Structure 1
Amino acid sequence: MKIFLLCIVFTFSFSFVAKANYTSEEFQESLFEIGYKSIYDALNEGNEYFNQEIVLPVQLPPVAFTHSFGRFENPDGEVNDRYDIEYVNKDKPQNHFNITIQPVKYGIDFRDNQIDQRIKLGDGNEAIYSTKAVNGFNLLVFKKDKFQYILSVDKRISDIATSDILVEIANSIK
């Protein structure tokens, strides 16, 4: 689990040490260089690989994003196969929302001291809300179909993107 959480932290922090006056083109290119592409191109890769449709939420946090990117990762073996989506604002690094989707059988487990709250979702599944598992981000983690979803939001906007908002986003996945 520690390795996966380190990957999440790396994913969250890689693109936000941007220079001042970064143009949209430069910002996009920096993400394309590390394997990101359009959300839908990456989603199609994931759907084909898993041979199952990955369903995305229709709701997002109520903050402004300038860019959205997707990446399907399929390194050697199955353990780290996952689909990531980043929603970012190139001018406001705190406006950062991430969705990671991976097979349940390779999902992360949380220790009790990492869990702030257990929440029942609209479909009856349980979600875990954590402000402690990843430094700088709040997480809502839940299972849907054969996938584990991790919704992550930068702590600096947690007054806007609250746990209730994350639950609404989770419930928007049909």
Structure 2
Amino acid sequence: MKKDSCSQAGENNPKINLGAIKVNKSIPLILFLLVIFGVKIGTVSANTKDSPPPSIEETFSEAGFKTVEESVEEFENYFECDVELPRMTPSISFTHRFGRFYEDKQYNMNHSLAIRFVNKDIRENIYKIDIRPLKNKINFKDKLNLNGKEFTLQDGSKAIYFESHQFNFLVFEKNDLQYLLGIYRKVPNTVTPESLVKIANSIK
């Protein structure tokens, strides 16, 4: 049976800093990815000199990430709704993908689903999807007054493209959800704003 549209109480939304601190090539890949994705580094156990470094799977698991399928199911069960993911991905290679459902037990307004695509061999290949109910959405309309650009999707709805310090984003609304697609800015120009629009249009 198809679930209802996603909805949950939550009117006010704190501002979220979509930029990230600058990270150089000397930082290990695992730490680099965790910083880029805003994961609390203190939650990940440090390895000793005699122990091998944790794998990407182990590190993300300790930081609360699971499989995409498990995370989507948690989100759907919590909100009693269906979540459609884009059927397309950026035209760059990925070796791993992870998901995490975040339940905001303190303020009850920042519940979200985070999906992350990474490549263990090409650290610049980073792509992320953040999904939240419309009642908990973040307002990005001010981005149009800065460096943002508006696109029209196939269903007639509007999407906003904008750039931050670390990621280029496309935000749009579909099926009572707000989607935020982000591609790491150091990815070659093969992933354009138009590419993100095509990915958005692949959601049915």
Amino acid at match of 2:111: D
> For residue 16 of structure 2, what is the aligned residue in structure 1?
4
The count of corresponding residues between Structure 1 and Structure 2 is: 166
Q: Structure 1 runs of 4+ off > 4 angstroms?
A: 8-11
| Of 58, 62, 73, the match for 1:29 | 58
Shift of 1:106: 1.6
> For residue 127 of structure 1, what is the aligned residue in structure 2?
159
Q: Does 1:161 align with 2:186?
A: no
The 1:82/1:155 distance shift into structure 2, 3 A limit, reads same
CA distance, structure 1, for counterparts of residue 114 and residue 201 of structure 2: 19
1:30 alignment partner, SS class: helix
Bigger Rg, which one:
2
The 1:136/1:2 distance shift into structure 2, 3 A limit, reads farther
> Quick check: which one's strand share is greater?
1
Amino acid at match of 1:75: D
Shift of 1:24: 10
> Higher relative CO (CA 8 A, sep ≥ 6), structure 1 or 2?
2
Amino acid at match of 1:47: E
CA distance, structure 2, for counterparts of residue 51 and residue 66 of structure 1: 31
TM-score by length of 1: 0.86
Structure 1 gaps, min length 5: 16-22
Shift of 1:2: 6.3
Shift of 1:25: 6.2
TM-score by length of 2: 0.74
Amino acid at match of 1:79: M
The 1:141/1:4 distance shift into structure 2, 3 A limit, reads same
Contact 2:75–2:113 under 8 Å retained in 1? yes
> Quick check: which one's helix share is greater?
1
Q: Does 1:91 align with 2:91?
A: no
CA distance, structure 2, for counterparts of residue 104 and residue 165 of structure 1: 24
